[in-house]
Amino acid sequence: MKIRLKDNKVKEYPEGMSVLDIARDISPGLARTAMAGEVNGRTADIRKKIYEDSDLKILTFEDQEGKKAFWHTSSHILAQAVKNLFPEAKLAIGPAIDNGFYYDFEVDKPFSTEDLEAIEKEMTRIVKQNLELSRFELPREEALKLMQEKGESYKMELISDLPEDEVISFYRQGDFVDLCAGPHIMSTGAVKAIKLLNVAGAYWRGSEKNKMLQRIYGVSFPKKSQLTEYLNRLEEAKKRDHRKLGKDLDLFSIQEEGPGFPFFHPKGMILRNQLEDYWRKEHVRHGYQEIKSPIILNRDLWIRSGHWEHYKENMYFTKIDDMDYAVKPMNCPGSMLVYNRKIHSYRDLPLRICELGLVHRHELSGALHGLMRVRCFTQDDAHIFMLPEQIKGEIIGVINMVDDFYNLFGFRYHVELSTRPEDSMGSEEDWDKATKALQEALEHKGLSYKINEGDGAFYGPKIDFHLEDCLGRTWQCGTIQLDFQMPERFDLTYVGSDGEKHRPVMIHRVIFGSIERFIAILTEHFAGAFPAWLAPVQVKLLSITDRSNEYIHKLMDEFTKSGIRAECDLRNEKIGYKIREAQLEKINYMLVIGDKEVENGSVAVRSRKEGDMGVIKAEEFKGLLLKEIREKAL
């Protein structure tokens, strides 16, 4: 059989060679670091045997899917350690996640800090045993019997829910066996560094109706130095936690009267308004028309859009005049109604409609997290209605906007393309055309991208933008989705050049994603030290004596009239104390003003970034700052 490798070289191997065998043939070093394989675009266990011509990538810890195989094995080590120490514990699920792994357990009492320390120690002992992981399969009845003998009721439920034709596989390490589809690394000995991070409650299968389980989170690495580096980053992330900084800088709060419903304070509103003002100017520049749709709309609309059937459990409801209404979880149906208010010609397209729309979605209380996960948020939505031949050009236009936005904040990003899922709507011809248009747009822009096979929305393929912050963490924010379903459901039409009615193609897209979540990301990315154009307070004027107060008030008035956001500190405190306080408040510039500065019409400038910048004329400083704000400098 012929195997095409990552570098496009083609090698011949006997049928039945495993991914690991091929890795050994390429290089013993590669075989030692191999975690999994990617066979014809699908992640595969390193033990998988190949019997036909295939494309193959050997995945190491440097690859995200390689990491996940490593972390998946670590979750099994965690489960084995818990069963060794707490034999009565019942196993639920234990997947790899984007930054480590977790495992859910049913236990009589919650795990304590001391329990976590003991479990981590037991995991280290299992690692030292270097237990080989082996995969085996069982018929459904035998699989159920095995789990029943072990008292694993959650595993029995999972097996019962599998399709009849699904292969039921298990992995064994020593005397521990777990139901699992894989993939896994070869043995426990490769996991050189482990840290259990915390424990939290989690409902079985995410439903409040089910039992609350104990979820242990952890992370692991092939080298101890990698764990040290990770823990240092984690410590830095704690310092940058937007919830702490939001309180310290008086940006926002979550009150007990409204869990998941954030309050923005005056300084937080300045930051928010700067983002929204920039958003509006850019959308006008790119030919968008802004709308505002109602927050509450009737049941018939949500039935038509499909949300009543597919999204009801995440929605909030009310009654008006004995009729059912819903608080909108998404802005799209409102845009449909605006489009449908009149007849459109092909000459009107593309039509770009944008909206900063407040939406409400029900989130479990345990999932709420500052501004990152809330129950109401503002999406920077846009919906583009176009002719089929305009798809590629409009996608390129959106990509250009996303690039401009993210570069403004200093974010790098990577792109993923998600293709047709099994439960998709629409014809294969439409899907092929749409997917090809997305690919051509990405290639036109010279963007490399990862393909997520079958991970598109049911109504069309999509491009997702994952931005990277200063700590290397990634956040999925922007998305471009092609939709054939909504124009059909809402009977959207335009009159073509032939005089007949046709169905437009539609794009859903966001760039910030959610204003609230983007503010959280920005706060952590900049550690609250925002660029001058975003900063709630750009300048603080600090008096040395009362004699300078009149001059400071005059400067404050001039700055305010020029659009500079300034505050003054006229307290009878030592100047060093005032400077330290202003630095803690992350003020961009501190202007120290004493008798000399009053006499010369100058200011002694201290920059948050550069420290003492010396004494300059007040008018010159004002000009420099206005230029920095105008250019939106980082």
Secondary structure (H, E, C), 268-294: HHHHHHHHHHHHHHHHHHCCCEECCCC
The amino acid present at 141, given as its one-letter code, is E
3-state secondary structure of 374: coil
CA torsion sign for 322, 327, 333, 337 is positive
- Given the residues 67, 383, 517, 525, select the one marked as catalytic: 383
Distance CA 515, CA 378 (A): 6
Catalytic residue among 173, 242, 332, 540: 332
| Longest CA–CA separation in the chain, Å | 92
User: CA distances (Å), 107 to each of 71, 91, 148, 468, in order?
Assistant: 23, 9, 18, 38
Which residue in 57, 361, 586, 622 is the catalytic one? Answer: 361
- Residue pointed to by tokens 């060679």: 17
Dig out the tokens for 543 from the structure: 């008096």
Please report the DSSP string for 424-481 in residue order. Answer: --S-HHHHHHHHHHHHHHHHHTT--EEEETT-SBTTB-EEEEEEE-TTS-EEEEEEEE
Tell me if 253 sits within 8 A of 247, measured CB to CB: yes
Exactly one of 379, 390, 439, 481 is catalytic; name it.
379
Q: Rounded to an integer, what distance in angstroms lies between the CA atom of residue 39 and that of residue 276? A: 45
Check if 361 is active-site: yes
Give kind and range of the element (H or E) at residue 10. strand 10-12
Cβ distance 101 to 219 under 8 Å? yes
Q: Catalytic residue, from 283, 508, 509, 586: name it.
A: 508
Catalytic residue among 215, 462, 540, 606: 462
Can 184 be counted among the known catalytic residues? no
- 369: annotated active-site residue: no
Distance, CA of 315 to CA of 360 (rounded, Å): 7
Residue 508 appears among annotated catalytic residues: yes
Residues 634 and 621: their CA atoms lie apart, in Å, by 18
What whole-number distance in Å separates Cα of residue 287 and Cα of residue 51? 54
Vertex 520, ends 518 and 523: CA angle to 5°? 110
> 3-state DSSP call for residue 544?
coil
Considering the candidates 104, 380, 381, 464, report the single residue annotated as catalytic: 381
Whether residue 383 lies in the annotated active site: yes
Our answer to whether residue 470 is catalytic in this structure is no
Phi–psi pair at 229, nearest 5 degrees: -65, -40
Task: Note the helical H segments in 13-56.
Answer: 19-26, 28-33
**Beta strand pairing status for 212-221 and 96-97?**
unpaired
Q: Looking at the annotation, which residues are catalytic?
A: 332, 361, 379, 381, 383, 462, 508
